[in-house]
Amino acid sequence: MNNPERFRYVRILFITILFIFIMIYISLTSGTFDLTIREVFNTLLRLNSSPEHDAVIFDFRLPRILLAGLVGFALGIAGAVVQGITRNGLADPGILGINAGAGAAIVFFMFFFQYQISDTGWQAIMIQPLFGLIGGIVATTLIYFFSWKAGRIEPQRLLLSGIAISSGFGAFTVFLSLKMKATDFEMATVWISGSVYNANWHYILSIFPWLFLLIPIIFRKAYLLDLFQLEETSLKNLGVSVEKEQSILLLSSVGLVSACVSVSGSIGFIGLMSPHIAKQLVGIKHRYALPISGIIGALLVITSDYIAKSIFSPIELPVGIVISIVGVPYFLYLLIKVKK
């Protein structure tokens, strides 16, 4: 193992985690109800805590921060996987329509089945991500069908197919949401834009098993993402079962995205920006780039959520809008860079 390369990875890992803790500190202590760091620690460690501090930290701020971090971490890793499989630096679960497919399925669930399921129990906790998974798989299947040509995926067709499919699922989502009751429509609209303002411990409980099961699978197969940059004939000569391994990695990333969409709505561009930033920091080897991409994604969502809830206070923006303000120019920059 290259020692300088490993040292660089460890240093970047330490710095990015430090930035995350700084943002957690700012998010926990700042807001309409300001807290000192001593009050935060006393509440977390159950030392002279008060009901007001318990409510602020455990009911509102801490679940929101944790959910934002988990969603960002998962989307960053999913984006790196999608880019590695497709060999396309412009690929992103949101741009390719995976987010839209999962979101459409979840709005379908909200419209037809939400009030037929009790609010408690494992059924209520797990059913929404499962709907998202089905929608994400349908979207991915359609993308592959339309972008496959001459035995391979063409990057340009992939991007165009993803944009078209995303628009189609988006139109279907809007159609369903317009038929909802006024209160449900408002909730669905904010959710579609991407938001963690309604975060709670049930949401964290619903997303955690997906991350616990799928992220280790992706990390164990990180070396394959390096090999996928080779020609397919070279991969087969190395004894790699290309279709099987791509399917496992792709389904794992779709599962991560679907679970995220089920609790935070469609937050785009994290899967686009995080892998690029990670590779600029630690290089192109996925055993280093994957963890850093996840941590960068967590940092971006936590920071964006803090900006969303504070910059226009008392009005609160969906976190997806804040990320898009940065993500759209970044996507255009990458598009121009690829054309050169």
Give the 3-state DSSP-derived string for 56-117, with helices as H, strands as E and coil as C. Answer: HHHHHHHHHHHHHHHHHHHHHHHHHHHHHHHCCCCCCCCCCCHHHHHHHHHHHHHHHCHHHC
Does the predicted TM-score (pTM) go above 0.85?
Answer: yes
In the block, residue with structure tokens 């009911």: 59
Give the DSSP H/E element, type plus range, for residue 29: helix 3-29
Residue 292: per-residue pLDDT: 96
Residue 120: per-residue pLDDT: 46
Residue 1: per-residue pLDDT: 46
> Which among 208, 207, 180, 201 is positioned nearest to 192, based on CA atoms?
180
Q: What are the structural domains of the chain?
A: 3-339 (1.10.3470.10)
Residue 288: per-residue pLDDT: 93
- From residue 273, alpha-carbon distances to 136, 312, 322 in Å are 20, 25, 14
pLDDT per residue, tens digit, the chain (340 aa), is: 457 888 999 999 999 999 999 999 999 988 778 888 888 888 888 887 788 888 888 888 999 999 999 999 999 999 999 998 888 887 888 877 888 888 888 888 888 876 555 554 456 566 777 888 888 888 888 888 887 776 666 667 777 888 888 889 988 988 888 888 777 777 777 777 888 887 888 889 888 888 999 999 999 999 888 888 777 667 777 777 777 888 888 889 988 988 888 888 888 889 999 999 999 999 889 999 999 999 999 999 999 999 988 887 777 888 888 898 888 888 788 777 765 5
Residue 117: per-residue pLDDT: 55
Question: Is residue 179 a contact partner of residue 111, using CB atoms and an 8 Å limit?
Answer: yes
pLDDT in tens, 101-122: 888 888 888 888 765 555 544 5
Residue 2: per-residue pLDDT: 55
Residue 243: per-residue pLDDT: 77
Chain-centroid distance of CA 68 in Å reads: 9
